[in-house]
């Protein structure tokens, strides 16, 4: 897990604020996935990105959520105007290729708490 770096590990935001979650994939990995885990739930796919491109955002809420993976720098998951229901663990994962050809490597997650 040490290879995929996520920060911050814990993030507390008040309702209405913005949350920015960062993910640095493993070296050499160009595929990034974001997953969300609600309490007592499994991991839910949110978005799949390759460098500078969003490949699939079918799991992303239509409003307030956005993601990017710029040519330089980490991938960012941005949540605007957070609400209590956004409280969850957000996991980033990376791979060299599409899943199955090479497995996903997960970071240790960012735990977002909205007060």
Partner 1 sequence: DQQVKQNSPSLSVQEGRISILNCDYTNSMFDYFLWYKKYPAEGPTFLISISSIKDKNEDGRFTVFLNKSAKHLSLHIVPSQPGDSAVYFCAGREGSQGNLIFGKGTKLSVKP
- Residues near partner 1 (CB under 8 A): 1, 4, 6, 31, 33, 35, 40-45, 48, 55-56, 58-59, 91, 93, 95, 98-100, 103-109
> Would you call 84 helix, strand, or coil by DSSP?
helix
Q: Which is nearer to partner 1, 18 or 56 (CB)?
A: 56
Which residue, 17 or 26, has its beta carbon nearer to partner 1? 26
* Residues contacting 40, CB < 8 A, separation 6+: none
Asked if 8 and 109 touch (Cβ cutoff 8 Å), the reply is no
CB of residue 85 to partner 1, shortest distance in Å? 18
Q: Nearest distance from residue 104's CB to partner 1, in Å?
A: 7
Q: Which is nearer to partner 1, 15 or 98 (CB)?
A: 98
Cβ-contact 104, 26 below 8 angstroms: no
Angle at alpha carbon of residue 78, lines to 61 and 3, rounded to 5°: 110
Shortest gap between Cβ of 46 and partner 1 (angstroms)?
10
């Amino acid at each position: 897990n040490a290879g995929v770096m996520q920060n911050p590990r814990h993030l507390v935001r008040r309702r209405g604020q913005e949350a920015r979650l960062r993910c640095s994939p493993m070296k050499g990995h160009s595929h990034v996935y974001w997953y969300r885990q609600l309490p007592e739930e499994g991991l839910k796919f949110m978005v799949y990105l390759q460098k500078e491109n969003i490949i699939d955002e079918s799991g992303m809420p239509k409003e307030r959520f956005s993601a990017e993976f710029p040519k330089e720098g980490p991938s960012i998951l941005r949540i605007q105007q957070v609400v209590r229901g956004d409280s969850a663990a957000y996991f980033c994962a990376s791979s060299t290729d599409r899943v199955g050809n090479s497995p996903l490597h997960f970071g240790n997650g960012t735990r977002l708490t909205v007060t």
